[in-house]
């Protein structure tokens, strides 16, 4: 079983809590963490696109290569989506309940 989506979600929520406690902006912490994981998965999708469609040549990839759905797989979607869902759920439940 692949635990990386849950690990990424835990790290994202921890980042959200840290930024929320230090800066008082809980939304910013979640946005930063989610942007990090989304960018990471997008970069990996670009490398998959290069390997699959550009014969390993980075210069052959178009600007939209990382957005191509053929370069994404289900684990990648979960690795990017789980942190976003976790931060949103944490924000809507824990933070709104406190304030």
pLDDT (tens place) for every residue of the chain, 99 residues total: 889 999 999 999 999 999 999 998 888 999 999 999 999 999 999 999 999 999 999 999 999 999 999 999 999 999 999 999 999 999 988 766 665
**DSSP reduced 3-state for 1:** coil
Contact present, 74 and 66 (Cβ < 8 Å) = no
pLDDT at 42: 96
Domain total in the chain: 1
Lookup: tokens for 39: 């960018």
Lookup: tokens for 77: 């979607």
Cα separation of the two ends of the chain? 37
pLDDT at 95: 67
Contact present, 30 and 91 (Cβ < 8 Å) = yes
Q: Which residue has the tokens 């290569």?
A: 65
- Domain that residue 71 falls in: 4-98
pLDDT at 68: 95
Q: pTM of the entire structure?
A: 0.85
């Amino acid at each position: 079983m692949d635990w990386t989506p849950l690990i990424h979600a835990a790290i994202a929520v921890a980042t959200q809590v840290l930024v929320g406690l230090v800066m008082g902006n809980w939304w910013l912490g979640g946005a930063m963490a989610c942007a990090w994981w989304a960018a990471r998965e997008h970069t990996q999708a670009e490398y998959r696109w290069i390997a699959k469609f550009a014969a390993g040549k980075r210069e052959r990839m178009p600007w939209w290569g990382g957005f191509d759905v053929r370069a994404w797989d289900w684990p990648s979607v979960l690795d990017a989506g789980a942190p976003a869902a976790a931060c949103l759920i944490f924000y809507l439940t824990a933070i709104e309940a406190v304030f």
